[in-house]
Amino acid sequence: MTNKIKYKRILLKLSGESLMGNESFGIDPKVLTYFADEIKKIHDLGVQVGIVIGGGNIYRGLNATDQGIDRVTGDQMGMLATIINSLALQNALENKGIFTRLMSAINMEAIAEPYIRRRAIRHLEKKRIVIFGAGTGHPYFSTDTAASLRAVEIEASAILKGTRVDGVFDRDPEKHPNAIRFEEIAYMDVLKKNLRVMDLTAISLCQENNLPIIVFNMNSAGNLLKVVTGENIGTSVGNFNVTEIVK
């Protein structure tokens, strides 16, 4: 093994919207294949991988009230959307010859194992990729919060949040070409600057447990591998005293 692993066990957070590719809705099979290839690269190195994926490409609970659906029901619909995405990603990974387990926070034994912390850790130790579906199983909590919670529970070394931009910026880089990227930023600065890396609950949970978050561009081939082997890409969110800015 030529690559030195910096993070032995990680929680990879992907948005549901990322599965759309260039489509306006649903799942692009090409994106699934690409994600599976990228994840396989780190799995082959021996990295233990847990995954949380959102459901925004299918349904967002936050839009429920605009559609005349109460928030709790809308969030439950969103949880089911994450299961659809999780099944799709599981299938793509298994097509690459990787053993996986899908664990759900909502009981649905016909298609997923119930989430049990000790069992999840055992799966990881056996080199199985574990996909955590249905969020936290409770309304009013985002999949970002679910990712933070599961990462803490499985004792992950870091949360790796794959996005479509190169890290955390002082403003939206897709709207502002002169936006400045942070190389490192403190949890509190994320909250004070309202940078929308993850929601308040997720950031607070990571801060309380000193769990680093690496935000990086998942759409650039090889970036996931670079992160787990310690290359300095993206933005690190942690207990930093000084925020470093890359111009």
The Cα–Cα gap between 105 and 167 comes to 29
Least confidently predicted of 42-46, 79-83, 239-243: 239-243
Taking the model in full, what pTM does it have?
0.93
Is residue 179, in this structure, part of any structural domain at all? no
Domain extent at residue 36: 9-167+212-221
Question: Total domain count for the chain?
Answer: 1
Is residue 136, in this structure, part of any structural domain at all? yes
Is residue 235, in this structure, part of any structural domain at all? no
In which band, very low, low, confident or very high, does the pLDDT at 247 lie, cut at 50, 70 and 90? Answer: very low
For residue 169, give every residue at least 6 positions away whose Cβ sits within 8 Å of its Cβ, in sequence order, or none.
176, 179, 180, 181, 182, 195
Interval 206-224: pLDDT, tens: 999 999 999 999 999 999 9
Rg (CA), the chain: 17
Is residue 35, in this structure, part of any structural domain at all? yes
Report the SS3 class of residue 134: coil
Mean pLDDT confidence for 105-116: 97
| CATH number for the domain harbouring residue 82 | 3.40.1160.10
Mean pLDDT confidence for 170-181: 90
**CB distance 100 to 131 below 8 Å:** yes
Is residue 143, in this structure, part of any structural domain at all? yes
Is residue 125, in this structure, part of any structural domain at all? yes
Is residue 135, in this structure, part of any structural domain at all? yes
Least confidently predicted of 2-6, 116-120, 187-191: 2-6
Is residue 178, in this structure, part of any structural domain at all? no
